[in-house]
Chain A
Amino acid sequence: MALLAALVVYPLLYNVGLSLRNYRTGEFVGLHNFARALEDPQFFASLRATGVYVSAALATELTLGLALALLVHRTIHSGWARALVYVLFLIPMVTPPVAAGVIARLIYTPTYGILNVLLLRLGAISSDVLWLSEPATAMFAVLSVDVWQWMPFVFLVCFAGLQAVPADTVEAARVDGADGWRLFWHIEFPYLQSLLLLVLVFRFTDTFRVFDHVQVLTAGGPGATTEFLSLYLYRVAFKFFNLSYAAALSLFVLLVTSLAFAVLGRYLVREVSA
């Protein structure tokens, strides 16, 4: 147990120590590394990119996941069909992000990528779109992988939540004349509220630290338009070998995740350990 704590606490203390020094010379530099972050345009660019990524991914995944859960809940009633849909939609979720990167490469590649071929055929575009080398479409491409992989998680949680709504409550509401939308809003949504919050916590912390599929797909490019915090930290630490500065930045990342966990997670922990 002590070893376990050491494995987590020690790196954090180590990060703090590292961030106060100059990694190369070992000299104590105080808060220099933190001051530097405040004047680092690339840091703020990565922060902004992460913000775009996190909010777009969360909004899309929550909306689509919830919509799909409702659709399946209202449409499919047989047990085996529900189980089948479950497993089919879980396939992207357990696919390693690196493999998801492979898939995205196959789809978005110019000339031979299936997406361009389809769009050309449909007449939606007249020449190849360079999906991964234009800022806006590259952001779209990395986002689409996240949505493909994790919308099923929202679906899964919401779907299970919908099944937990007592049938007689729903029946009573129907008898009282509640239609689809009102039934959802007044009867089902209250049951889903705490689950949606749980999903929000998980998805926020996961998208905030996104790394794997982006590294494979765009490696932060074009330029630095998809260089999210983790990728920027990786570059600072392992390309420029400025471990001290990276440690200072990493403490910032930790602070944000901890704050999110403290605000949202308090509720989550109560929910889960109840």
Chain B
Amino acid sequence: MSRVGLWRMVTGAVLAVLTAVYLFPFYWMVVTALKPLPEFYRFPPTLLPLDATVAAFRSVMLQRGFLVLLRNSLAACLAAVGAALVVAMLIAYPVTRLPVSPAFRRGLLNWILSLRFLPPIVVVIPFFDIVRRLGLYDSLGALVLLYTVFSLPFATWMLRGFLLEVPMEIEEAALVDGATRWYAFFVVLLPQLAPALLATAVITFALAWSEFMFAFILTATPRSQTFPIGVASLVTQFEIIWNEMAAVGTIAAVVPILLLVFARRYVIGALTFGAVREKA
């Protein structure tokens, strides 16, 4: 075998092992979720569940009230996605399509980007007090508001990137033909942007879905607690029911992973604000 061929094989094997090791922790959570509790305590631990069961999933969803938390999370995330898309479009459209001064455009975009770097703990202290005074403590409304604001950097920059890629001529042609700006936007531009909107929605959803600190501090009861808060409460309990903890962890992780697989092409560009375009 040639030296190059051998080198290839060795590095390939290293890479395969590396990937396996890297994904093992995730695999371990899923497997634990599928084990009945007595099997968890077996020594040595089993690599594959001997007696795979979804009992832990059923138990947390039905008996521990995670169904309500799931509903809360879905409601808050979907509302935030809707609001963020509208607001982000209201910012992204003017800066790419309307004649605004370059200084204004740069200022606005940079300010939006700087939101991405704002530490949440700095914001949550005043928000805690404001939300309490408004009587919004322990309500989903406060979370939706915060999720909307904090998903704007991603949403705006993504939409801007996509808008820059749609040729202006298509809209201009419509405008020349006597269409109004509204018509050009809704009927001509929006359908072109459909994949972009979908991708932006996916990212925004995944971000809100993973959020922990705001929900941790601004909610108190299952009325408005989100799924990650429920997960954390199971993990920090004095006596952990291991397979149930793994089950809620799995559900929390699987949602964004499915979305990632579904919108892979766009997610990769977006995670770096489009600074990197996927070529694969």
Q: Which chain A residues have a beta carbon within 8 Å of chain B's beta carbons?
A: 1, 4, 7-8, 10-12, 14-15, 18, 68, 71-72, 74-76, 79, 82-83, 85-99, 101-107, 112, 114, 117, 121, 148, 153, 156-157, 160-161, 163-164, 195, 198, 201, 205, 208-209, 211-212, 215-216, 219, 229-230, 233-234, 237-238, 243, 246-247, 250-251, 253-254, 257, 260-261, 265, 269, 271-273
Contact = CB atoms under 8 A, between A and B. Distances in A.
A71 B11 contact: yes
Interface string B101-145: 000001001100111011111110111111000000000000001
Given A75-B11, A107-B28, A96 B235 contact: no
Given A18-B125, A257-B117, A265-B117, A117 B275 contact: no
A95 B120 CA distance: 19
Interface string B27-38: 011001000000
A112 B117 contact: no
A159 to B, nearest CB: 9
11 contacts: A4-B87, A11-B130, A95-B257, A99-B250, A103-B25, A104-B25, A157-B275, A160-B268, A230-B120, A247-B125, A260-B117
Please give me the 10 A-B residue pairs with the lowest Cβ-Cβ distance, nearest first. A102-B249, A96-B210, A209-B119, A14-B126, A11-B126, A160-B276, A99-B253, A98-B228, A212-B212, A83-B280
B264 A14 contact: no
Interface of B: 8, 11-12, 14-15, 18-19, 22-23, 25-26, 28-29, 32, 40-41, 43-45, 87, 90-91, 106, 109-110, 113-115, 117-123, 125-130, 145, 149, 152, 157, 206, 209-210, 212-213, 216-217, 228, 231-232, 235-236, 240, 242, 245-246, 248-250, 252-253, 256-257, 259-261, 264, 267-268, 271-280
A200 B41 CA distance: 42
A99 B249 contact: yes
B133 to A, nearest CB: 11
A253 B242 CA distance: 36
Nearest to A264: B117
Contact of B119 (A94, A208, A247): A208
B114 A265 contact: yes
A10 B210 CA distance: 26
A271 B157 CA distance: 13
Contact of A112 (B23, B41, B90): B41
A248 B271 CA distance: 32
B231 A99 contact: yes
B15 A76 contact: yes
B29 A106 contact: yes
Given A94-B260, A243-B125, A243-B128, A261 B114 contact: yes
Given A102-B249, A163-B279, A257-B119, A114 B45 contact: yes
Contacts of A82: 280
B275 A106 contact: no
Contacts of A4: 87, 149, 152
B117 A205 contact: yes
A230 B44 contact: no
A195 B110 CA distance: 18
Contacts of B252: 95-96, 98-99, 102
A273 B129 contact: no
A79 B280 CA distance: 6
Nearest to B12: A75
A74 B11 contact: yes
A106 B276 contact: no
A156 B279 CA distance: 11
Nearest to A148: B25
B242 A91 contact: no
Contacts of A237: 125, 128
A62 B271 CA distance: 17
A128 B128 CA distance: 42
A144 B63 CA distance: 33
A34 to B, nearest CB: 15
Given A95-B256, A107-B25, A216-B232, A87 B261 contact: yes
A212 B228 CA distance: 10
A247 B113 CA distance: 23
B119 to A, nearest CB: 4
Nearest to A102: B249
Contacts of B249: 98-99, 101-103
A75 B10 CA distance: 10
B280 A7 contact: no
B48 to A, nearest CB: 14
Contact of A215 (B110, B212, B260, B272): B212
Contacts of A254: 118-119, 122
Given A98-B231, A102-B235, A14 B256 contact: no
A195 B261 CA distance: 25
Given A238-B217, A253-B119, A117 B45 contact: yes
A102 B254 CA distance: 13
Contact of B106 (A1, A15, A163, A273): A273
